[in-house]
Structure 1
Amino acid sequence: MESPPLSVVVPTIRGWPFAKLVLDPLREQAPRTGTEVILLDASGQPPPSKDEVGFPVRWLERPGASVFEMRREGYGLAQGQIIATTEDHCTVAPDWCERLIASHAAHPAAVAVGGAVENGTPGRTLWWAAFFRTQGPFMPPIPTGPTDRLVGAANLSYKRRMVERLGPEDGIHIDNLDMPALEPGEVLYADGGLRVAHHQPTSLWRTSVLDFHNGRATAGKRRERMGRQEWIRLGSMGVLPLYRTLRTYRTIRAKDRPAGTLERAMPAVAWLHLCQATGELVGYASGPGNSPSELY
């Protein structure tokens, strides 16, 4: 049986009907392009019927698993020549599947292709602040071409040969930390026209908690292999929130955004960077704990 040109892996801890958000934009383009869609669900809720979903989706129930564990499992199950991932709170553009396939075909040396991320919830200053902090470097416009840094799991894809070089499936998997090193001649490639919208309309408390857990999960993972860079990061924790806040401001100034949004968001951006750094300190000290299971 011929393998599909593209597999899309989506982990969720919120299940159905929340997952309609990510699946509905794939309803027409996945069958049109022969794309395989794999959704791994840790919610423990009943899965939807085939009629409710509206197109073929491989729905796998994984009660209690983290999004990191499910994404790694999904990579191993995917049959596509290209293996992509997005998040359950993202909506892909109507041409996303076609553009992914075309971008990989046009750049055979690109073992990973990432795109841009737009803010799907622009209604409040807090939501802009959370978006600036996490997705700011990948807001449009982003340069198209080889790069040394790609977007995270919101809009990321790999050629099969890259995924096949992954190690064992156990433990949490964070894409920008766990993917294999590039081999000679391979590149990472950014496609500025490959877009998804990111939706996170949460309260200040919930956003703060999520950023704490994000910091703890990431630092807990880094703790497994403390090298020079990790020790420098740990040693600079006292000033890191301020540095990151200033870096966010410099980055977003060059991005497309409503006038005044950045300036109004900066106090919340600074607070959220502090929440992340606090989580990192806990992660370096005691590991990731239950933080991976709290993230989506």
Structure 2
Amino acid sequence: MFSLNPPPTASIVICTYTAKRWDLLLDVIESVRAQTVAPQEVLVVIDHNEALYERLIEIVDNVTVVESSGPPGLSGARNTGVGLADSDVVAFLDDDAEAAPDWLERLLALYDDPDVLAVGGRVEPVWETGRPGYFGEELDWIVGCSHRGMPKVASEVRNVIGANMSFRLEVLRQVGGFNVSLGRQGTKPLGCEETEICIRSKMGAPGSRIVYEPAALVRHHVPADRGTIPYMLSRSWSEGISKAQVSQIVGHKRALGPERRYVRSVLPRAVFSGIRDWGRGSNPQGLGRAGAVMAVLACTAAGYLRGRRIAHIEGRASAGTALIGTPWREVQ
């Protein structure tokens, strides 16, 4: 049965902050131009890097290049894009995440249901120097990608993945945009801004849904230094701190429900599988995989406890009303 509603229009927002990803950024823009469903507009937001802005506006066409009008950081840049968007849906891509040709088409198809507030897709890692043997797929969230244990068919989820997500524009504006106190700032590996905004969006719309559509694929470049043990542990620590921040805003139950299931089911299987493979001699890296999982879990838990402590000291236990930052209306 065909829908009588016209397909939604879409704006694509790509945020970038460094010329080090120049070639990757151009590839991302080309992947957007090659979509089976053309976006209404493509916005490239430069996060406080004037030289990069000047260079990009001289090179690309059919793309709107703007400077972020928000505070430094990914959330501020995304809010700038939201403020400028003029479409039904806003889709976000990282500057190192190349979209499959039918990516946008797959995302937009789910918006036929009026209860769907946001749709995200699968993020597949493309390792610069190959996946390290100790880096199991269960830990791919560390590099901003879909991990083992996530749904294999379109399913309702708590939140989408930042490198591949979309929202109804009216939803983003109703909730005031992304929380600028969360999210990555330059190379500082904080995050969870997409988790917080998804939770906050649903809190104001009972019966609504956030959907993960694995058929909507982007391929995310993973540099060699993000596959190292030090990065894994640093990112895990930062994730714990970020989750503590979110839990202070939306409550522990909302913030940690999927994480509890992940820790109870996915990680024990990963540890057991690694030890089994090592014991059978089928994969000598199995013990390293098991050890990495346990180390990441310990670092994430420690970061979470540290984040809770910081929040308590700073008196932010009741925060949540003044953390959203620059509203979309101020960046139009």
Q: Same fold (TM over 0.5)?
A: yes
* Cα 1:109/1:221, change in 2 over 3 Å: closer
* Structure 1 residue runs without a partner (length 5+): 234-239, 254-258, 290-296
> 1:66 Cα shift?
1.6
Rg larger in 1 or in 2? 2
Distance 1:217 1:12 in 2: 21
> 1:59 Cα shift?
3.0
Contact 2:68 2:77 in 1 (8 A): no
Name the residue aligned to 1:27.
Answer: 33
Q: What CA deviation, in whole Å up to 9, does each residue of 1:239-265 have, x standing for no partner?
A: x99x72853354899xxxxx9699453
AA matched with 2:235: L
Contact 2:11 2:90 in 1 (8 A): yes
Distance 2:291 2:12 in 1: 36
Residue 41 (structure 1) aligned to one of 47, 52, 58: 47
TM-score of the aligned structures, taking structure 1 as reference length: 0.72
Name the residue aligned to 1:294.
Answer: none
> 1:56 Cα shift?
1.0
TM-score of the aligned structures, taking structure 2 as reference length: 0.66
Contact 1:214 1:279 in 2 (8 A): yes
> 1:156 Cα shift?
1.4
Quick check: 1:194 aligned with 2:213?
A: no
Distance 2:249 2:136 in 1: 33
Distance 1:80 1:23 in 2: 19
Name the residue aligned to 1:159.
Answer: 168
* Cα 1:25/1:248, change in 2 over 3 Å: farther
* RMSD of aligned residue pairs (Cα, Å): 3.9
Name the residue aligned to 1:125.
Answer: 133
* Cα 1:251/1:208, change in 2 over 3 Å: closer
* Structure 2 residue runs without a partner (length 5+): 1-7, 183-192, 273-281, 315-332
Distance 1:87 1:33 in 2: 16
Name the residue aligned to 2:89.
Answer: 82
- Once the two structures are overlaid, the 10-residue window that deviates more, 91-100 or 136-145, is 136-145
* Number of residue-to-residue matches in the alignment: 271
Contact 1:115 1:151 in 2 (8 A): yes
Distance 2:85 2:126 in 1: 28
Q: How is 1:201-212 mapped onto 2 (pairs within 5 angstroms)? A: 201=223, 202=226, 203-212=228-237
Q: What CA deviation, in whole Å up to 9, does each residue of 1:112-164 have, x standing for no partner?
A: 1122222222532355454165645577762224x143432122111223212
**SS of alignment partner, residue 201 of structure 2:** coil
> 1:82 Cα shift?
0.4
* Cα 1:177/1:198, change in 2 over 3 Å: same
